[in-house]
Amino acid sequence: MFTSLSDSLDKTFRNLRGVGKISEKNIADALREIRIALLEADVEFGVAKDFISRVKEKAMGEDVLKSIKPGEQIVKIFHDELEALLGGDQAPLDLNPPARILICGLNGAGKTTTSAKLANRLKKEGRRPLLIACDLYRPAAIDQLAVLAKQIDVPCYTPDASESDVVKVAKDALAWAEKQQGTVLIFDTAGRQEIDEKLILELKRLHDFVKPKETLLVADSATGQQAVSVAEHFDGAVGITGIILTKLDGDARGGAALSMRAVTGKPIKYAGEGEKLDQLFEFHPSRMADRILGMGDIVGMVEQVADKVNEADAMRSMKRMQEGKFDFTDFLDQMKMIQNLGPLEGLLGLMPGFSKIKKQLPAGAFDNKKIKRTEAIVLSMTLEERTRPEIIKGSRRQRIADGSGTTLMEVNQLIKQFGEMRKMMKSPTKMGNMMKQLGGAPGMKDIMKGFGGGKFPF
């Protein structure tokens, strides 16, 4: 999301670091470029103006102007102010009993999916969430929540299709919830394409009846400055306690994330990145500031890897690698493990400096279709062929190509690459060098710990 902003800031700070002595003109020129970059990222004008003023005031201080490395100090000032703009410390949910969470927002922002994502996350944290469908207008909204709830094995209250009074639905849901012994109630409410009086009045009635500890606004981060006005309207109506940004993995410019906290004074508590129900993450302002400045988010990367990788399976694969027994069945397991991590580009984007490395990678390096084709080739092999790849000759290769819907060339290429990989694994020297290189990459030691024992499974 922040690619263009990160690139602009990187260029500006690189120029500052290259200057031996900083003058007021250097700072003024740099801040002008930063202001333009913020506005191009769709940051609200007043927020950008105030932000630049604060950075300028601190950057013009004597300690900076006379510093041996003034460029580095300005970057530090910018980082600290950016972190403060995003909210400072991470803001946890108030889950003290009775823990009730009201989810609100416009249509299309992803409220229903986000409600299920939040329930899934709370369940993993050891709580007993309950989902309650209060969207009585959008076709199939109730069914959608019920289907998502079933996927994560969370109880869901679904009113009759004929029901039109949202307060009555909430009253019946509370009676139902008492029998379920849940610890957190999540109310998924209706949205609109545009904010209207009917929506606001209904939300007020529901809010007054439910008396939620948390009223969370789900905002599409791609809506830019419009998201800020939406947040102000909802806050004025029902008093939101926090924000959940969705579609943070998209190609939007990121202005909403940088503006909403400053304009509303309400913290961004979670961010959704991806469609899967486990892709909702706590929003940490300091980590987001690091990502915007190209410093990565190693802690976030380790958390994602540790949460989705089975340590026992990873260690078993590592042992087979070291013993030279790695075959296509192991290879298939590794591919599934990688796919469970979600889009690789998004995960690797948390590595420091990845944006620069990415430009040097060949086109299609993160093409999910290519991964699927590779998987199809392996699945078209017999169990014996996966265990003993050396027996895959001419006629077998053609059969595999036909069965997987790929070409003979693609099958030949995969078998060749796999053979070269096995040779490398059987060579302690080559394998050791590879692991050494991986371990020396920025932050990679921390990532390896996420797999257990500092070992890397693929």
Instruction: State CA 300 to chain mean position distance.
Output: 9
What is residue 438's three-state secondary structure?
Answer: helix
- Cβ atoms of 185 and 101 closer than 8 Å: yes
Alpha helix stretches (DSSP H) within 18-69: 24-40, 45-59, 62-65
Burial label, 20 (beta-carbon count in 10 A; 0-12, 13-18, 19+) = exposed
Please check whether residue 182 is in contact with residue 209, taking contact to mean a CB–CB distance below 8 angstroms: no
169-187 per-position pLDDT tens digit: 999 999 999 999 899 999 9
Q: Alpha-carbon distance 186 to 119, whole Å?
A: 7
* More reliable by pLDDT, 349 or 242: 242
State the Cα–Cα distance between residues 431 and 226, nearest whole angstrom.
52
Q: Which two tokens stand for residue 112?
A: 């229903």
Encoding tokens for residue 124?
A: 């993993």
Distance (Å, whole) CA 328 – CA 326: 7
Q: Would you list which residues are annotated within the binding site for GTP?
A: 105-112, 188-192, 246-249
Q: What percent of the chain has pLDDT over 70?
A: 72
Query: Quick one: residue 325, left, alpha or beta (phi over 0 = left, psi -120 to 50 = alpha)?
Result: alpha
**Residue 391: other Cβ atoms inside 10 A:** 10
Tell me the domain boundaries of the chain. Answer: 3-86, 99-295, 303-449
Under 8 Å between Cβ of 3 and 354: no
Q: What is the pLDDT of residue 289?
A: 75
Question: Of the spans 201-205, 342-346, 420-424, 429-433, which averages the highest pLDDT?
Answer: 201-205
The pLDDT value recorded for residue 444 is 42
Angle between helices 70-86 and 24-40 (to 10 degrees): 30
- Please, which pLDDT band fits residue 66 given cuts at 50, 70 and 90? low
pLDDT class for 48, splitting at 50, 70, 90? Answer: confident
pLDDT at 23: 75
The structure tokens listed for 179 are: 């029998």
Cβ distance 58 to 77 under 8 Å?
yes
Is-same-fold flag (3-86; 303-449)? no
pLDDT in tens, 70-87: 667 777 888 888 888 887
DSSP 295-364: ---HHHHHHHHHHHS-HHHHHHHHHHHHTT---HHHHHHHHHHHHHT--HHHHHTTSTTHHHHHTTSPTT
- Helix or strand (DSSP H, E) at 156: strand 156-157
Q: Which among 294, 316, 250, 315 is positioned nearest to 75, based on CA atoms?
A: 294
Q: Does position 240 have pLDDT exceeding 90, yes or no?
A: yes
CA torsion through residues 248, 251, 252, 257, sign: positive
Question: Count of CB atoms within 10 A of residue 229's CB?
Answer: 13
For 389-414, the pLDDT digits (tens) are: 889 988 999 999 999 999 999 999 88
Stretch 209-237: mean pLDDT:
85
* Binding residue numbers: 105-112, 188-192, 246-249
Chain segment 189-212, per-residue pLDDT in tens: 988 766 678 888 889 999 999 999
As a whole number of angstroms, the distance between CA 156 and CA 291 comes to 36
What is the three-class DSSP state of 440? helix
Phi, psi (degrees; rounded to nearest 5) at 160: -65, 150
**Which pair of structure tokens corresponds to residue 446?**
């921390």
Cα distance between residue 454 and residue 198, in whole Å: 56
Architecture of domain 99-295: 3-Layer(aba) Sandwich (3.40)
User: Using one digit for the tens of pLDDT, what is the confidence trace for 124-148?
Assistant: 999 999 999 999 988 789 999 999 9
**What CATH superfamily classification does 3-86 receive?**
SRP54, nucleotide-binding domain (1.20.120.140)
268-272 and 242-246 beta bridge pairing? parallel
- Phi-psi group of 94: left, alpha or beta (phi > 0 → left; psi -120 to 50 → alpha; rest → beta): beta
Mention the CATH class of domain 303-449. mainly alpha
Residue 392 CA: distances (Å) to CA of 99, 385, 408, 423: 59, 6, 12, 17
How far apart are alpha carbons 235 and 345 in whole angstroms?
35
User: In Å, what is the CA distance from 125 to each residue of 118, 119, 120, 215?
Assistant: 11, 10, 9, 20
pLDDT at position 167? 95
